[in-house]
Amino acid sequence: MRGLRRREQLVDAAIALLCEGGWQAVTTRGVAERADTNAGLIHYHFGGLPGLHAAIVRRVGELVINPLVTELLDAPDEWAALAAVRRLLPETTGDERTARLSAELLAGATRDPALGEVLRDQLREARTQIAGRIRQLHPGWPPERAAAVATLVAALIDGLVLHHMLDHDLPVGEALAGVEDLLRKD
């Protein structure tokens, strides 16, 4: 248990540094100092800095991606899912820490193929879960259609998050009203 707690402390320290200074701030020495521990523990727990970076991506994905996916999966129908997106979007993009982590997550994933693979796997899992929920709501749909719609839902959310992070005046309500109009035509 103690090892797991130390591992989590190292990841938490690394995420704090990531928020403050980006990936370049996440060094073995910096993380060890922030966690008030020996730098050798990073090698012990993660096999080195690349392993710690992968653990960071997994944890940030859990913090940023999972809450929204959970809301979508718990929604009883498409309308409730849209309401959840409408409610959570300002929380997600208005929180400076979450916005910074999201930006750094994408930056790291595009620069480092190993990090990109971790994030890709998380996003695939999210789309798979969303597709499963869509199949529950639309049992007559072929799996390919549910998967395609899940991809569009994920891309819509990603795009809205990105745009809203950069422009808090973005008319999100109107955009989601447009999605509601499309749902009514289905």
Is-contact 123 155, C-beta < 8 A? no
Helices (H) and strands (E) in the chain, counts: 9, 0
Domain residue ranges of the chain, discontinuous segments joined by +:
50-184
Measured CA to CA, the distance from residue 113 to residue 157 in angstroms comes to: 23
Of 73 and 165, the one with more pLDDT: 73
Which tokens belong to 59?
């944890």
**Residue 178: predicted pLDDT:** 85
Mean pLDDT of 150-157: 91
- Taking 70 as the threshold, does the pLDDT of residue 22 lie above it? yes
Mean pLDDT of 145-151: 95
**Residue 99: predicted pLDDT:** 82
Of 156 and 3, the one with more pLDDT: 156
Mean pLDDT of 15-44: 95
Measured CA to CA, the distance from residue 102 to residue 48 in angstroms comes to: 23
Measured CA to CA, the distance from residue 63 to residue 75 in angstroms comes to: 19
In whole numbers, what is the pLDDT of the chain averaged over residues?
Answer: 90
Neighbours of 75 (CB within 10 A): 17
Measured CA to CA, the distance from residue 29 to residue 18 in angstroms comes to: 14
pLDDT, tens only, 80-119: 988 888 888 777 766 788 888 888 999 999 999 999 999 9
Percent of the chain with pLDDT over 90: 60
Longest dimension (CA), the chain: 60
* pTM, full prediction: 0.86
Is-contact 42 10, C-beta < 8 A? yes
Q: Which CATH topology does 50-184 take?
A: Tetracycline Repressor; domain 2 (1.10.357)
**Residue 94: predicted pLDDT:** 67
Closest CA to 84 of 93, 67, 71: 71
**Residue 96: predicted pLDDT:** 81
- Taking 60 as the threshold, does the pLDDT of residue 140 lie above it? yes
